Chains A and B, each alone.
Chain A
Amino acid sequence: MQVFLQTLVGGLSLGAIYALVAMGFSLVYRTMGLVNFAHGDVVMIGAYVASTFYLSVKLPFIPAMAIAIVVTGLVGVVIEFVLRPLENKDFDLMLIGTIGFGIVLQALAILIWGATGRAVKNPVQTGPIDILGARVRAYDLVVLAVTAVAMVLLVLFLQRTKRGVAMQAVAMDHEAATAVGIHVGRSNAMAFAIGAGLAALAGGLAGPLLYVAPTMGGSLGIKGFAAAILGGFGNMPGAIVGGLTIGILDSFSAGHFQGYSDLVTFLVFTVAIMIRPTGIFGERTVNRA
C-alpha cells in the first residue's frame, strides 16, 4: 500500500508540470487552431530565465518566476509576430514555422547559457510531510496548488472576459470575428503570450524538480502534448486531467515495467486515443481541417 501511495504521489508532482505544459498547448490550439511545436522549448526558456534570476541575480523565487513569465510571454509575442503573415493563409507552413522556432530557441539557450545546464535549489525549505505513510515534498504541494489556481484563472479568462471570449471566436471563424471588430492578429498575439507565460510557469516550477538544460523541452513537450490530447485537445480542465493521468501512468509503469516504462505509457496512451479520439472530455471547439 505504501509503495502504491508513494508512486501515486511521485506521479502527481510531475503530472502537475505536464498539466501546465498541456494547458499551454491547449490554449494556443483552442484560440488559433495551431499546434505550437516550439512549446516544449519555450518551457525550457522559461526555466532558464527563472533560474537565472533565482540563482544569479538572487531574487526570491516568486519574483523570479514573475519576471520569467513576463519575459517568456514576450518571446511568445515575437513568435506570433514572425509567423503572422502565414496566419489563416497557410496552416501547415505555420506549423513547420513553430518547429523551426523550437530549434532556434534551443540554439539561443546554448549560446546564452552554455550547453551544460544547471541544478536549481528547492525554494521550499521545509522537509517532506508524512501523509498516510507516503512522504510528500512540500514543494510538490506548492506545484499542485499553483497548477489548480492557473487552471481556474485561465477558464475564468476564457469564459468571463471579453478578450477571452473574443479569442475563442477567432478560433471558430476568423472572418466572422473580423467582421464583428475583433483584431485577429492582436488576439492571436495575446494567445501566444499567455501560452508562453504558462510554459514559463511550468518551466520555472520544474527547475527545482529536474535539471535545467537546453534539451529539457524535448520530453516535457512530448508528454505535455500527449496529456493535452488525452484530456481533449483545447479543453482546459482536460489538460489538467490529462497531465495528471500521464504523470501517474508514467510513475506506475516505471514501478512495474522498469526499463520499458516509456513503451508502456505511450502504448496505453495510444489505445486510449484509439478508443476515444477526442480525448477524455471530448473537445471539438476548433473547426480546422
Chain B
Amino acid sequence: MPRHELVVATVLATMLTTAACGSPGKSNETEDSGTGPIKIAVVDAQSGQLSSLGAWESKGAKLAVGEWNKAGGINGRQIQLDIFDDQGDPTVGTNLARKVASQKYIAVIGTAESAVTLAMAPTLQQAKIPNITSGQSPAMPALGSPFLFLNGPTSTTYDETLSKYIVDTKGIKKIAMITNNGSYGKGEHDAFLKTLTARQVTPLADQVVTTDQKDFSAALTAIRAKKPELIFLGAEEVESGLIVKQARDLGITATFAGAAPQGTPVFADTAGTKNVEGTIVSTPYLSNDSSEASRKFAAAYKAAYGEDAELHGAKAYDGTNIFLTALKSSGVATGDKLAEAIRGTKYSGLLGDFAFDETGVGIFATQIGVIKSGKLTAAS
C-alpha cells in the first residue's frame, strides 16, 4: 500500500511541475513566425451596455483588413483578424490581454472603452504588443506605455474645442455639468472643468451620477433650479440619452453639449430625436459626407454591413490602416520595432492627419457639430 501511494504521489508531483513550467503568458517578446497569416486581435465589448461601440469598431477594423487582404495582404501574407469580447469589463479585458499574448497575436485593435484599455495596458506593455484604442481618457497617454496608441484625440482636445466654441464663440457662461463616475465620465469631467477654469467660468452645477444609474430626477432637479443655458454631458451613449430624456420631461429646455458619445445614433434614439435638437457635439468625424475619403469609406461600410458608418467605425478603420501600414513598412516587425514603425507612420485618415507623439496621441483637433433633425451637421 505505501509503495502504491508513493508512485501516485510521484506521478502527481511530476505532472504539477511540468504544468508549472509550461504556464502560458510568460513570454517577454512575441515572435512572428514569418509565414502564414498575420494575427491581429480585436478586443471590444460585443455584449453589455457598451456593445454598440464594440460592434462599430469591429466592423471598421474588418473593413480595413478586408481591403488590404483583397489587395494581396502584406508581403503576400493574409491578415487574420480575430474578435474577442471584453464585455466592457476591465477584469475580462485583463484576462483577454493575457490570452492574446499567449496566443501570439502581434497587435491589438481596441478597446473603445478607456477603463478596459487602461486595465489591459500593463499586460500588453509587458508582452510588447502594440495596441491602438478608440478611448479618449487622458489617463491613457499619461501611462507612458510605448505600446499604447490612440486613434482619436483625448478628452482634453475634445473639451478644449468644445469650450472654445461654447464660451469664446457663443458667449455662453451659465453652464451646468452632469457626468458619471466611470473612467470616461471622470476624464471628461476633469478635462472640461479645466477648460472652464482657464476661461474664468465656474459651472453653476456639477452633478456626478453612477454609471448604472437609471433615475436622474434628483441631479436634474438640482440643475434645473440653477437655470443654466447649457448642460455638459459626460456619460456614455445610453446613459446620456436617458439623462436628456428625463431632463426634457422635467421641463429643462437648456441645450446639451458633449463629445464623442453625443454624436452617435444610439444617443439620439435613446433620448428621442426631438429632445436632442440643437445639441453641440465636439467630434473629429462630423459626417460621412465631409470628404471624398469619408464618402468612399461610408459607401464601403454601407455595402458591407447595411448600416450607416459613424465615428467609432471610422476611428477603428483609421487605426487598423495605420497598423497595417506600419506592418508593411517594417516588413511585419513585432514588439519594439513594430511600435517604432507605428510611431513613425504619418497617415492621412478619415479623422485627420495622424502624427504620433511619444505618449501615443496622433490627432490633436476636433470639429464642432450641431444635431439638427437627428443628424450631425457642421456648426456655422
A interface residues with partner B (beta carbon < 8 Å): 2-3, 6-7, 9-11, 13-14, 106, 110, 114-119, 121-122, 128, 135, 137, 209-211, 213-215, 219, 247, 250-252, 254-256, 258-259, 261-262
Q: A113 → chain B, closest Cβ, in Å?
A: 11
Residue from A209, A250, A255 having most chain B Cβ neighbours under 10 A: A255
Docked pose: A12 CA to B217 CA in angstroms: 11
- The interface size bin for chain B is 35 or more
* Cβ of B219 under 8 Å from chain A: yes
Docked pose: A211 CA to B216 CA in angstroms: 14
Give the residues in chain B near A250, CB-CB below 8 Å: 215
Q: A160 → chain B, closest Cβ, in Å?
A: 36
Query: Would A258 and B208 count as touching, CB distance under 8 A?
Result: yes
Docked pose: A122 CA to B213 CA in angstroms: 19
Query: Would A211 and B250 count as touching, CB distance under 8 A?
Result: no
Q: Return the contact of A115 from the options B48, B209, B212, B222 (Cβ within 8 A).
A: B48
Query: Would B249 and A128 count as touching, CB distance under 8 A?
Result: yes
Query: A211-B238, A259-B181 are contacts. A252–B218 as well, Cβ < 8 Å?
Result: yes
Give the residues in chain B near A14, CB-CB below 8 Å: 214-215
Query: Would B217 and A116 count as touching, CB distance under 8 A?
Result: no
Binds A, one of B49-57, B122-130, B310-318: B49-57
B interface residues with partner A (beta carbon < 8 Å): 46-49, 51-52, 54-55, 181, 207-210, 212-219, 221-222, 225, 238, 241-242, 246, 249-251, 266, 269-270, 272
Give the residues in chain B near A256, CB-CB below 8 Å: 218
Give the residues in chain B near A262, CB-CB below 8 Å: 210, 212
CB nearest neighbor in B for A115: B51
Query: Would A211 and B219 count as touching, CB distance under 8 A?
Result: no
Query: Would B208 and A259 count as touching, CB distance under 8 A?
Result: yes
Query: Would A214 and B241 count as touching, CB distance under 8 A?
Result: no
Give the residues in chain A near B54, CB-CB below 8 Å: 115
CB nearest neighbor in A for B212: A219
CB nearest neighbor in B for A210: B214
Residue from A13, A115, A117, A251 having most chain B Cβ neighbours under 10 A: A115
Query: Would B214 and A258 count as touching, CB distance under 8 A?
Result: no
Query: Would B238 and A251 count as touching, CB distance under 8 A?
Result: no
CB nearest neighbor in A for B185: A259
Q: B110 → chain A, closest Cβ, in Å?
A: 15
CB nearest neighbor in A for B221: A6
Give the residues in chain B near A215, CB-CB below 8 Å: 47-49
Query: A11-B217, A128-B249, A210-B214 are contacts. A115–B46 as well, Cβ < 8 Å?
Result: yes
Query: Would B52 and A261 count as touching, CB distance under 8 A?
Result: no
Query: Would B210 and A135 count as touching, CB distance under 8 A?
Result: no
Query: Would B210 and A115 count as touching, CB distance under 8 A?
Result: no
Give the residues in chain A near B225, CB-CB below 8 Å: 2-3
Give the residues in chain A near B207, CB-CB below 8 Å: 258
Query: Would A211 and B210 count as touching, CB distance under 8 A?
Result: no
Residue from B216, B219, B251 having most chain A Cβ neighbours under 10 A: B219
Docked pose: A106 CA to B249 CA in angstroms: 31
Query: Would A7 and B217 count as touching, CB distance under 8 A?
Result: yes
Q: Return the contact of A116 from the options B55, B210, B222, B250 (Cβ within 8 A).
A: B55
CB nearest neighbor in B for A216: B49
Docked pose: A119 CA to B209 CA in angstroms: 21
Query: Would B219 and A119 count as touching, CB distance under 8 A?
Result: no
Q: Return the contact of A258 from the options B47, B52, B209 (Cβ within 8 A).
A: B209
Query: Would B249 and A117 count as touching, CB distance under 8 A?
Result: no
Q: B303 → chain A, closest Cβ, in Å?
A: 20
Query: Would A6 and B217 count as touching, CB distance under 8 A?
Result: yes
Q: A64 → chain B, closest Cβ, in Å?
A: 18
Query: A211-B242, A215-B48, A259-B208 are contacts. A11–B251 as well, Cβ < 8 Å?
Result: no
CB nearest neighbor in A for B45: A115
